[in-house]
Chain A
Amino acid sequence: MTAPAKPADAVRDASPGRAGAIADGVVRSVGPIVLAFLFCGLLLLLLGRDPLAFYGNIVTAGVLRPSGLQDSITRMAPVLLIAAGLVIVFRANLWNLGTDGQFLFAAAMVAGLGPIVLAVVPGPIGWLFLMAVAMAVGAMWTVIPALLKARYGINEIITTMMMTFIGVGVANLLVKGPFKGTTMVPQTAVVPKALMLTDIPGTSIHIGVFVALAVVVIVHLALTRTSFGTRLDVLGANPRAAVHLGIDVQRLTVTAFALSGALIGLAAAVDILGIFGYMRADWNPAYGLKVVPIVFLARLNALAIVPFAIFFSIVSIGGEYAARQASLPSDFILYVVGLILIFMVITQYLSDKRARGERILPRRAAKAAADV
Chain B
Amino acid sequence: MSELLTPTFLTAFVASGILAGIPLLFAALGETIAEQSGVLNVGLEGMVLSGAFAGFLGTLATGDIWVGLLLGGLVGLIVSGFMVVFCVRLGLDQIVVGISIVLTAEGATSLLHGAMFGKSYPRLDAIPELKIPFLGDIPILGGSLFTQPAPVYAALVLVAIVGWIFRRTSAGLSLRAAGERPDSLDAAGVSVVTVRTIAELTCGALAGIGGAYMAIVGAGTFVPFLTNGMGFIAIVIAMLGRGRAWGPVLGALLFGMSMSLSTALQLFGIAIPVDVVQMLPFVSVMVVLVLFTRQSRLPAALGLPYLRGAR
- Of all chain A residues, which has the CB nearest B298? A1
Q: Please give the number of chain B residues whose Cβ is less than 8 angstroms from any Cβ of chain A in the complex.
A: 53
Are A335 and B293 in contact, CB atoms less than 8 angstroms apart? no
Is A166 interfacial (CB 8 A cutoff)? yes
Minimum distance in angstroms from B113 CB to a CB of chain A: 8
**Interface-forming stretch among B91-99, B128-136, B243-251?**
B91-99
Q: Are B232 and A339 in contact (CB under 8 A)?
A: no
Q: Are A345 and B285 in contact (CB under 8 A)?
A: no
Cβ–Cβ contact A338 & B100, under 8 A:
yes
Q: Using Cβ atoms and an 8 Å threshold, which residues of chain B touch A289? A: 99, 102-103
A159 touches B289 (CB 8 A): yes
> Please, how many angstroms separate the alpha-carbon atoms of A162 and B111 in the complex?
26
Chain A residues, Cβ within 8 Å of B114: 327-329, 331
Tell me if A169 is interfacial: C-beta within 8 Å of chain B.
Answer: yes
- Decide: B232 and A162 in contact? CB cutoff 8 A: yes
Query: Cα distance A182–B56 when bound, in Å?
Result: 41
User: Could you tell me if B100 and A341 are in contact, using CB atoms closer than 8 angstroms?
Assistant: yes
How far apart are the CA atoms of A327 and B113 in the complex, in Å? Answer: 11
Tell me the interface secondary structure of chain B in the complex: helix
How many angstroms between the C-alpha atoms of A339 and B100 in the bound complex? Answer: 7
Q: How far is it, in angstroms, between the C-alpha of A170 and the C-alpha of B229 when the chains are bound? A: 16
> With an 8 A cutoff between CB atoms, is B271 at the interface?
no
Beta-carbon contact of A152 and B278 below 8 Å: no
Q: How large is the interface on A (under 10, 10 to 19, 20 to 34, 35 or more residues)?
A: 35 or more
Of the residues A6, A49, A334, A346, contact of B104 by C-beta under 8 Å: A334
Q: Is the CB of B102 within 8 A of A328?
A: no
Query: Are B286 and A163 touching (Cβ within 8 A)?
Result: yes
Smallest CB–CB gap between A358 and chain B, Å? 12
User: Which residues of B sit under 8 angstroms from A331, Cβ to Cβ?
Assistant: 106-107, 110-111, 114, 224
Select one of B42, B93, B233, B302 contacting A157, CB under 8 A.
Answer: B42
A119 contacts the other chain (Cβ, under 8 Å)?
no
Known: A148-B290, A333-B107. A158 touches B236 (CB 8 A): yes
Q: Which residues of A contact B112 (CB under 8 A)?
A: 47
B residues contacting A by CB (< 8 A) are 40, 42, 82, 86, 90, 92-93, 95-97, 99-108, 110-115, 118, 224, 228-229, 232-233, 235-236, 239, 273, 275-276, 278-279, 282-283, 285-286, 289-290, 293-294, 296, 298, 302-304
